[in-house]
């Protein structure tokens, strides 16, 4: 006998969204990103992130918050091809 799908209970697991602090810590650990797997940081909260030596080559940084383009250029070791905060490409 086949049980109709409407009678099968659904198991839904919800996870709270990451806090800005945990998101920043995760982003701060970015290093050695393969260009084919560039980071998608669109709209990310980068406030208080330690981006020293981060490899953001090819990353999408559009609409990222809490960081300036100058800070990115001073801290990140690689930004070539990254889409910057304003949507422009970094050389």
> Quick check: is 21 in a domain?
no
Q: Higher-confidence residue: 57 or 23?
A: 57
Domain assignment present for residue 26? The answer is no
Residue 51 confidence (pLDDT)? 85
Contacts of 40 (CB under 8 A, 6+ apart): 59, 60
Which range of residues forms the domain containing residue 78?
A: 40-91
Residue 71 lies in a domain: yes
Number of domain units in the chain: 1
Q: 77 in a domain, yes or no? A: yes
Task: Answer whether residue 31 shows pLDDT above 60.
Answer: no
pLDDT at 5: 52
């Amino acid at each position: 006998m086949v049980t109709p799908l409407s009678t099968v209970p659904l198991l839904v697991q919800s996870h709270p969204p990451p806090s800005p602090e945990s998101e920043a810590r995760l982003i701060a650990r970015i290093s050695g990103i393969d260009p084919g797997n560039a980071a998608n940081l669109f709209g990310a909260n980068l406030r208080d992130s330690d981006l020293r030596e981060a490899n953001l080559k090819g990353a999408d940084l559009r609409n990222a918050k809490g960081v300036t383009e100058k800070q990115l250029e001073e801290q990140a070791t690689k930004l070539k091809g990254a889409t910057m905060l304003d949507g422009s490409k970094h050389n």
